[in-house]
Structure formats: structure tokens, C-alpha cells
Amino acid sequence: MFVKFLALEWKSLFRSANVGHSILIKTLLAFFALLFAIGLLAIGHSMYDILDESSDHLFPMQQVNRYLLVWFLSELGLRFFMQQLPILNIKPFLIQRISRDTLTHYLLSKSLFTFYNLLAPLLFIPFAIACWSIGDYSGLQILGWLVAVIGTSLSLHFFNFSIQQSLSAHWRLASIIVLVVAILILLDYLHVLSVSDQIAAFYELVLLHPSLAVLPILLIVVSYLLIYRSLRHQLYLEGRAHSRKNSTKTDDIRWIDQLGRYAPVIRLDLKLLWRNKRTKSLLTTAFFGLLYGLLFYNNSSSSSQGMLVFVGIFMTGLFTLNFGQFVPAWDSSYYSIIHTQRINIQDYLGAKSILLYISIIFGMILTIPYVYFGKEILMINLSTAVYNLGVNVPIILYFGTYNKKRVDLEKSQFFNYQGMGAAQWIMMLPALLIPVILWSIVQAFTTFETTCLIFVVLGMIGLCFRNVWLRIIARRYHARKYAMLEGFKQVGE
């Protein structure tokens, strides 16, 4: 049975509407994964030597044990945000003579084949081999330790699915858990109640008595049974359909009427943003993107001014980049309406640009507190925001017209390349790199203040010629109308 399912998966990959595209993306991802894997392997390999030098009285193994909790927590975090339960279209199978148990087991065993399960082995196996070859521990001890660590990692794999399921259903529970974890971290940090010491003590114990490695294996079984039971229980169409139905109150956001002819489209876009999975995760990304500056402003030694410009463009323009590149693909599932109703394309584009302006201005206001790191940073952020308003918005909206792939609104955005075309990758370059290069060139000839001023003026010019570029892009929309309509109809990867 498993083989038959796999054969179906294979067909679905090669018979999907745009095979080349999905294979290309998979190859690209595989390449990055390979790079990452090699990096991890190298770290695991050299970890022993580094740790050996750094401390006199602790074995490298003991030091690793002390940080295992951090590793497991970050692994869980990574899994939580990135990893998703593989999707199987169950409807056709439910009425066939395939037991629900088989389906569930298949789904779960398929989930095991993921890159995230390789992270722990890649890092810890070379390290364990190093410990063993030097002779800190016997072969049996090391084996027990490895089984325990990798076993814990695998149980996280299954626990993660249970967590994702229960959290998506009850978000209040989510906030409580986050609070509890935060308190634990604080206690740990203050050495009041040290969880990481407890964890470390357990793995020390495994080294003394390798038979204790059975415990993490039991943990895998428990976690598997937990998710198995809840999935098995949910393997009915109705269960899924009902939980999805959520009732909302009709909201017309009347104040938007102030915006006149742009009002209907903007109101629609706000609902689009709030009510769909993919756009919601986009909003989260945009918000966390604002914290990006903290990474750079702290270590001022390493950040050149070009880098600061990049950070400025990125922070104030992240939403514009993410949202703008899929205009009009966001509206792909109802694109016929846009073209059969009396929606003037230039007004449609105008409305989209206003939405992007609002996001940039929000970003501009929210990045003002970074003035703490220096007046220079505030000036850079303000002038890059104006540059975004005037120059990047038209560039991104223009490149959006090259997109004719349907966007599936019901899927999360993280690591989701659905609807992504070559144009989207290329578009990032002019939007992000041109300002950095331009800044460096201008700055070579004149002062910092003048450079800021030039950027503001560039943005202002772009804003003044708003109607011109709106008209140019609208013309592109007319030229590509049929191609877009046809492309947006293609459902699937």
C-alpha cells in the first residue's frame, strides 16, 4: 500500500501544471539544504577541539550536555514554524478499502523524511565519534548517548505536530504556553530553577548507564501515539470541514470611504490581509522584520553605511516587497471579477499603492525608536522610507505584472514558494541593491546629509510622477490580461 501511495506522489509531482518550476525550486532548496548540512557536519567535526580548548575542568561532552536544552528548544522552534504535516488528499481514499490506520501510519512515516530530522544526527554523530576516538568514553556509552539525543530529537518531531494542532485550535493556550516557557527561561537564567541543569544531568546519567537510552525511545513511542490518535480521530471529512467554519461579523470599515474611488479595493485588501492564512503570516513577517535593525545596530563596528541603508530599505519596505510582488496575484482566485466589473485598472493600482504607502509610513514611524542607536540611523531610515515610497513601490508593482501564477491564500507563507516565479527573485535585486549601490556612489562625492537629501528628493520625484507610472503599469495589465487570466486559473503547485 505504501508503495502505491508513493507512486501517486511521484505522479502528482511530474504531472502538475508547471513541472519545471516546482522541480527547479526543489533543486534550489536541496542545494541550500546541502550547503547547510555540510556546514553542520563541519561544526560537529571541529566542535570537540574547540570545546576541549575552551575549558580545563569539563569534558567537551559535559559542556555539550549543558547546552542540549538550548539546542532542543531551538530545534522545536524551528520545526514549529517551518515544518508542516505532509498533505495527502484523503477524500478519494476514505471510501476505498484502505483502513484509516494505514492512511495515518503512511502520513506519519512520510513525515519522517524531512531535512529537519537530519540536523541532530549531522551535528552530533561526528562529535560523538570524536569523543569516542579520543577515548573520553567507551563505545557503548557513546552509543547510548547518541541514541538518547537523536531519540529526543525524533520525539520532538512528533510532539511538534501535536503542538501545532492544539495551538492552531486554541490560541489562548498558545499565549499561556509562551508565558510559561518565558518564565522557565527566566528562572533558569537566574539560577533559581535550572531546567538545563536537569537535562544535562539526565544525559550525564545516560553516559554512566547507557541502558537509560530506552527512555527517549519510549518518548518517541508516546509522541507518535499521541499524534497518531488525534490524526486518526480527525480522518473524517466532516471533522475538518466543521472546525474550519468560523463565523465573523460583517464589518464594513466605514472610515475607508474617505478614500473615495479607492475605497472598495482597499477595504477588500484589508480583509484579504486579515482573513487568509498566507497573508496573515505575511503580516507577522513584516512585524518581525522591524526588529531586524537590532541585529545590526548593536555591533556598530561591523556595519558600514551601505549595510545600514540596506537595513533601512528592508525594514520599512518588507511588507511592500512581500505584498507588492504578488499584486495582482493575490486576487487570482477571483480575477474574473476585476475584469468584468467596472473596476478601472488605474484606480485598482492606485488603491494597491496607497496600501503600500500606508505600510511604509507605519514602518517609518515604528522604526523611529532606533534613534537610540544614533541620529544617523534615524536619518537613514527616514530617507530610505521616502525612497521606498517614491521609487520602490512603482518598481515592485511593475514587476508584479510578470507574475501569472495563482496564489493559494490558504497556505502559510513560511518556506512557501507557491506562486513564486523567476521575476520575483529578480525583482528583489533592483529593489534592494540599487539603493545600496546608489548610496555608496553618491556618498563618495558628498556629505552624509546631502546623500540623505538626494534620496528624499528621488522619492519625492517618484511620488510626483505617480500618475505617469500608474498609467504605464495599467497598460501592462491590459497587455497581459489574457495571460494572467489563464495563468490564475491553473490550480496546483
Partner 1 sequence: MTQHIIDIMELSKVYNGQTVLQIPALQIRQGDCIGLVGNNGAGKTTLFSILLDLIPVTTGSVLHQGLNASGSDEWKSWTTAFLDESFLIGYLTPEEFLHFIAEVRHVEHTQVDLLLEKYQDFFQGEVLNRGTYIRDLSKGNQKKVGIISTLIGDPTVIIWDEPFANLDPSTQIRLKHIIKDLTATGEKTMLISSHDLSHTVDVSSRIIALERGRVVKDMAKSDETLPELQQFFTV
Which CB, 191 or 245, lies closer to partner 1? 245
Distance CA 148, CA 171 (A): 32
Q: Nearest approach, Cβ of 244 to partner 1 (angstroms)?
A: 7
**479 binds partner 1 per the rule CB under 8 A:** no
**Interacting residue with partner 1 among 249, 255, 372, 447 (CB under 8 A):** 249
Which CB, 96 or 247, lies closer to partner 1? 247
**Interacting residue with partner 1 among 342, 372, 444, 447 (CB under 8 A):** 342
Check whether the bond before 328 is cis (ω within 30° of 0). yes
Using CB under 8 A as the binding criterion, the count of chain residues that bind partner 1 stands at: 34
**Interacting residue with partner 1 among 252, 258, 372, 429 (CB under 8 A):** 252
Q: Nearest approach, Cβ of 85 to partner 1 (angstroms)?
A: 21
**Interacting residue with partner 1 among 102, 166, 298, 336 (CB under 8 A):** 336
**Contact predicate 474/346, CB 8 Å:** yes
Q: Nearest approach, Cβ of 16 to partner 1 (angstroms)?
A: 20
**485 binds partner 1 per the rule CB under 8 A:** yes
Q: Nearest approach, Cβ of 184 to partner 1 (angstroms)?
A: 38
> Could you report how far apart the first and last alpha carbons of the chain are, in Å?
25
- C-alpha dist (Å) from residue 205 to 16, 200, 202, 284: 52, 9, 5, 42
Distance CA 186, CA 182 (A): 6
Element (H, E) at 34: helix 19-54
Which CB, 246 or 447, lies closer to partner 1? 246
Q: Which stretch, 5-13, 126-134, 174-182, 249-257, contacts partner 1 (CB under 8 A)?
A: 249-257
Which CB, 18 or 276, lies closer to partner 1? 276
E runs forming strands in 39-146: none
Site string for partner 1, 261-300 (x = CB under 8 A): --xx--xx--xx--xx------------------------
**460 binds partner 1 per the rule CB under 8 A:** no
C-alpha cell at 202: 539526565
**482 binds partner 1 per the rule CB under 8 A:** yes
**340 binds partner 1 per the rule CB under 8 A:** yes
**Interacting residue with partner 1 among 4, 172, 245, 375 (CB under 8 A):** 245
Planar angle of CA 163, 164, 165, nearest 5 degrees: 90
Among positions 420-459, residues that touch partner 1 (CB under 8 A) are none
**Interacting residue with partner 1 among 78, 409, 420, 457 (CB under 8 A):** 409
DSSP 403-442: --S---TTS--TT--TT--HHHHHHHHHHHHHHHHHHHHH
- C-alpha dist (Å) from residue 28 to 12, 25, 88, 116, 204: 19, 5, 24, 17, 40
Q: Which stretch, 180-188, 227-235, 341-349, 372-380, contacts partner 1 (CB under 8 A)?
A: 341-349
Which of 354, 367, 160 lies closest to 269 in space, CA to CA? Answer: 354
C-alpha cell at 75: 530545534
Distance CA 156, CA 244 (A): 26
Q: Which stretch, 89-97, 242-250, 290-298, 454-462, contacts partner 1 (CB under 8 A)?
A: 242-250
Q: Nearest approach, Cβ of 81 to partner 1 (angstroms)?
A: 23
Q: Nearest approach, Cβ of 478 to partner 1 (angstroms)?
A: 9
**Contact predicate 120/37, CB 8 Å:** no
Distance CA 257, CA 279 (A): 23
Nearby residues of 117 by Cβ (< 8 Å), 6 or more positions away: 153, 154, 157
Sites of contact with partner 1 (CB under 8 A): 244-252, 263-264, 267-268, 271-272, 275-276, 333-337, 339-344, 409, 482, 485-486, 488-489
